[in-house]
Amino acid sequence: MIKHLRIDNRLIHGQVAVTWKNHIGAQAIIVCNDQVAADPIQKMALPMAARGSKVLVYSIAETIQYAKDHPSETMFVICKFPSDALQIIESGLEIADVNVGNAAPIAGTKYVMVTKSIAATAEDAAVYRKIAELRGGKLRSRLTPANEEIDFLKALADAGL
């Protein structure tokens, strides 16, 4: 089961490799993005960022298939973009928790800083709202388990998105 799905375009870093994985009790970290999964350098480097952990770097389709094939495994899925997360959610997999973590600004896009660590475009905001709709009308953001969670839909609205 996917115990925690995090949207974080930085993928694996200290917050993820140590804090979140331990908090969740995940048996596997799955980095989920089609372009990252097709990049042999990232496929080799990302597991090194979480030494001692089972790290899989998969496309969206591979992530869905893996989760279906391993229903008793506790998984922590990190999606690079909200569109990746939406596809996982729309697949109908059981997902206990969805969290917007970090989204560094992408050069050349018309982004707005929603929080200190999350940039979003109008297109991203629409995807986040669709995710919330599929998750009972709620979506939260929390950097680490020690941080207070925020209502991400309210943060989007407050940022003018």
Mind telling me the catalytic residues? 13
Q: Which two tokens stand for residue 64?
A: 């869905």
Task: Tokens for 147, please give them.
Answer: 């941080």
DSSP letter (8 states) at residue 149 = P
CA distances from residue 80 to 34, 60, 67, 129 in whole angstroms, order as listed: 9, 11, 18, 17
The closest of 152, 138, 129, 28 to 83, measured between CA atoms, is: 129
Q: Is 82 helix (H, G, I), strand (E, B) or coil?
A: helix
Alpha helix positions (H), the chain: 14, 21-24, 34-37, 40-48, 60-69, 82-90, 122-134, 152-158
At position 129, the amino acid (one-letter code) is R
